[in-house]
Amino acid sequence: MGKFEYTIEIKAPLEKVFNFIADGTNLPQWHPSIRKAERVGEGRVQLGSKLRVEAVFGRRRYVCIAECTEFTPNKSVRDRQIVGPFKKYEDWAEFQKTETGTKWTFGLEYELPGAMLGKVRDVLGRRRARQHQVEAMRRAKEILESG
């Protein structure tokens, strides 16, 4: 099982950062692995809402559906995969207002299917996954700070 967490400071108002990040349909704009993200059903992101995501990682294409399991405006959002390739996949984002903007912490906990093969695939892909997340956060920061 893999788990990691990253924090970045963004020079933009808390509400703006939260709304942009929490709305998963913005993922293709800033995450290098995400090709498409669309809400399943009507309405905005909220507790229980679902998001269908298409991603490419390495040479593999993945499709999953995630459900919002925690939603506290301008504070935190948490999702878990309900359909997809992972045995377990949960991510979270926490937001704090700072003197110069917003502190955003992203975390991810996952488990790949297949006992030994899953562990081998995890070791081989972990570094790239971490690089993708750092790049994603850098891109989001750039978008949010540019106005």
pLDDT in tens, 1-18: 678 899 999 999 999 999
pLDDT per 10-residue tile (average), the chain, 147 residues = 88 98 96 95 92 89 96 98 89 97 94 57 60 91 94
Q: Helix axis angle, 115-146 relative to 14-22, nearest 10°?
A: 140
Long-range CB pairs of 118-126, under 8 A, 24+ apart, other chains included: 118/87, 122/1, 122/2, 125/57, 125/58, 126/2
* pLDDT at site 118: 42
Please state the pTM of the whole predicted model: 0.89
Residue type, 34: I
How much is the pLDDT for 91?
95
